[in-house]
Each structure stands twice: as structure tokens, then as C-alpha cells.
Amino acid sequence: MPLDNLAVDTILWCTFALACGGLIKGTLGVGTPLLTVPMMVLVMPAQSAVTLMAIPIVVANLWQAADAPDIRSVIGRFWPTAAALLLGTMIGARILYVVDERTLLFLVGVCVITFTLLQVSSFKLQLGPRWVKPGGVVFGTLSGIIGGISSMFGPMLIVYMMSLKNLSKDEFVSAISFLYVCAVVPWAISLFLVGLLRGPLLWGSLAAIVPVTLGMVLGQQLRRKISEARFQHLMLLILLISGSSMMWRAWSVG
């Protein structure tokens, strides 16, 4: 969708939303589109908000992956998940091209709320060693489809990673970085090939790199000062509010 003649307040709000997404990314390593897309949807069509995230998400995750240690063992363990992500992403990007705004808003809202409720519930999915690769295929495919539609690859991947036994914090960061890169690069290419990431949206997505990067730099500084548990609780509250607002907007569209 065209972004010509955007009002100044709309541009400022989107810049703020992108910086907030970068802040969460820099602090926790995940969560950029989960916050940014719902915020931008308040002032622009959902399809445009999702497409604008394409290039900044690629840059942010390449940056994160570049800092990940022991990437070779991660690739050996999670390559089936990455392959499933690739397939699911291609399917999701095709769906985004034809899906109506109301359906897109509803799906993204459900995705955000489901992720939030899982995080605060007593339900804990546990996958043993023999289920790492089969589970990765299932969750990778679902994550790819949802991410291709909404740019929100995180929820299903995070649920999957949290379900793996004896996965250390460093291993989590390394694996999620690798999987994100595998998801967002083909996703952005798909958006370009189907004609969504063109013209003003392409230039807007390139410009969005700046606030996201600034937010990430600040987030990296805050990571040393704010406890992860406290920030996660705040993020869950923001996600619940954002998901609820998208559900309400989906109900009111049309």
C-alpha cells in the first residue's frame, strides 16, 4: 500500500514504534515486530505496517546472529527447523499478498495474545532429545506461515525453544538468532518478488533501519541495568494490550 503524503504525526509515531521495537530487540534479543506492528497498525493499514518491518528485521537479526557464539553446532542441531521455516515463510508471504486486512489483524492479534497467555500460564511444553528435530519441523512451519503473514516469527519459535530441555541462555540466543535469519531473509525477498516491498514501502523500510538500530543500541545498554525478569513482565503486559487492540480493530474494520 502506498505511503505517499503521510502526516507528520504518523511518521513520528511510526518512528517511535520502530525505536521501541529495536529497544526490546537490544534488551531481550526478541520481540521487535510483536510490539512494533501493533503500534503502527493504529495509524496505517496492517499490510503496510507488516511490509515496513521487512528490511529492519533482516538487519537486526543479522546483527544479532553475528554476535552468536558456536553457530556451527546450532546449525547442525536446528537445520530441520530452519528448512521448515523457509517453506512456511514462502507460503505465508503468498497469503499476505491476498489476505484482507480484517483477517490479517485478527490472526496477528490471536498470535500475540496466545503467546502472552502461554508465557504466564502453568502450561509448559517439554520436548525430549528425540523430539527436537520433529518438533522443530512442526513449529518451524507454523512460525514461517504466521511470520510470512504478519512478520511475527517469534511466538512459535520462542515457545518451541522454551520447550527444549537443558537449553542454556547462550544456546537459546544462538539458536533463535540463526532461526530468525533463516526466516526473515527469504521472507523479505518474497515480499519483494510478489510486489509488496516496492516503491515508497521499500524506501520506508530502508529508512526504518535507523530508529530500529538506535533502539537496539540503547537496549544493549539497558540490558546491563534492568533485570530480565522485570522487563519480560512489562513486555508481556505491552503484548497483551497490543494484541487486544488489534483484535478490537479487526472487529471494527468494515
Which of the two residues, 65 and 133, has the higher pLDDT score? 133
Say whether pLDDT at 81 is over 90.
yes
The predicted model gives 2-15 an average pLDDT of 76
pLDDT of residue 212: 93
Q: How far is CA 27 from CA 56, 177, 222, in A?
A: 16, 14, 6
Q: How far is CA 151 from CA 10, 69, 229, in A?
A: 21, 25, 25
23-27, 32-36, 139-143: which is most confident? 139-143
Residue 51 in any domain: the answer is yes
Residue 241 in any domain: the answer is yes
pLDDT of residue 170: 67
pLDDT of residue 1: 45
Tell me how far apart the alpha carbons of residues 60 and 78 are, in angstroms, rounded to a whole number: 20
pLDDT of residue 122: 67
Question: Please, are residues 77 and 204 in contact by the beta-carbon 8 Å criterion?
Answer: no
The predicted model gives 95-100 an average pLDDT of 72
pLDDT of residue 129: 78
Tell me how far apart the alpha carbons of residues 44 and 226 are, in angstroms, rounded to a whole number: 32
| pLDDT tens sequence across 154-202 | 777 877 887 787 777 667 777 888 888 888 887 788 788 878 888 888 8
Tally of structural domains, the chain:
1
Range of the domain at 64: 8-252
| pLDDT tens sequence across 103-130 | 777 877 787 788 778 767 766 667 777 8
Check: pTM over 0.85? Answer yes or no.
no
Angle in degrees, CA 211, 227, 15, rounded to 5: 15
pLDDT of residue 213: 92
Say whether pLDDT at 12 is over 70.
yes
In degrees and rounded to multiples of 5, residue 165 shows phi and psi of -75, 145
Residue 2 in any domain: the answer is no
Residue 147 in any domain: the answer is yes
